[in-house]
């Protein structure tokens, strides 16, 4: 007997619209939660691109919650939209990781301090002491050679695939 059949049945069940929406919701929440733990718990200061990469997650979370509550066809439409949102997130993460590896330049406005412009020279010198610019082209953390931006690109791609599969299955049977 084929050993792949039970695994195929599990994949089929997990890519149905509601389970897919739930898995993507949990994965997205865990990803954003991990980023917030790195920022607030471990003291890693995010750069401009890091903060931009979180936006697809913030947009997708309420859409996924709604997909859990809506009829199958509407849930499928929302899952399709979420898949597109995470494809944009994949592109943002890949762009950031590529800038970290030096494949292309990062944004020219990344790394500046925040807050109002200093009023005088003394205020300017004090702000220089307190400001630690974060460079978008320097990875602050890597595991197995992959930065947080690289992991974000991989996670967003996986979430896009799962959401897209759930959308396809919902709309195919509707």
Pairing relationship of beta strands 142-143 and 146-147 according to DSSP bridges:
antiparallel
Angle between helices 72-100 and 48-69 (to 10 degrees): 170
Predicted model pTM: 0.75
* DSSP, res 170: H
pLDDT at 124: 66
Strands (E), the chain: 142-143, 146-147
* Predicted confidence (pLDDT) per residue in 100-147, tens digit: 888 887 777 775 444 455 567 776 666 656 555 577 777 776 778 778
Residues of the chain predicted below pLDDT 70: 1-16, 111-119, 123-133, 141, 173-174
Q: How far does CA 37 lie from the centroid of its chain?
A: 14
Segments making up each domain of the chain, as ranges: 17-107+134-173
Q: What is the CA radius of gyration of the chain?
A: 20
């Amino acid at each position: 007997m084929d050993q792949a059949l039970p695994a195929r049945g599990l994949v089929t069940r997990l890519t149905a619209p509601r389970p897919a929406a739930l898995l993507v919701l949990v994965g997205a929440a865990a990803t954003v939660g991990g980023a917030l733990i790195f920022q607030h718990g471990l003291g890693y200061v995010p750069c401009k691109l890091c903060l931009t990469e979180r936006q697809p997650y913030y947009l997708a979370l309420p859409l996924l919650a709604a997909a859990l509550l809506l009829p199958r066809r509407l849930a499928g439409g929302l899952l399709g939209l979420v898949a597109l949102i995470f494809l944009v997130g994949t592109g943002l993460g890949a762009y950031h990781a590529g800038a970290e590896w030096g494949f292309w330049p990062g944004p020219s406005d990344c790394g500046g301090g925040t807050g109002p412009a200093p009023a005088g020279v003394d205020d300017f010198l004090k702000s220089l002491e307190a400001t630690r610019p974060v460079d978008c082209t320097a990875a602050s953390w890597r595991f197995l050679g992959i930065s947080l931006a690289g992991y974000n690109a991989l996670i967003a791609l996986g979430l896009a695939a799962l959401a897209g599969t759930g959308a396809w299955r919902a709309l195919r049977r509707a």
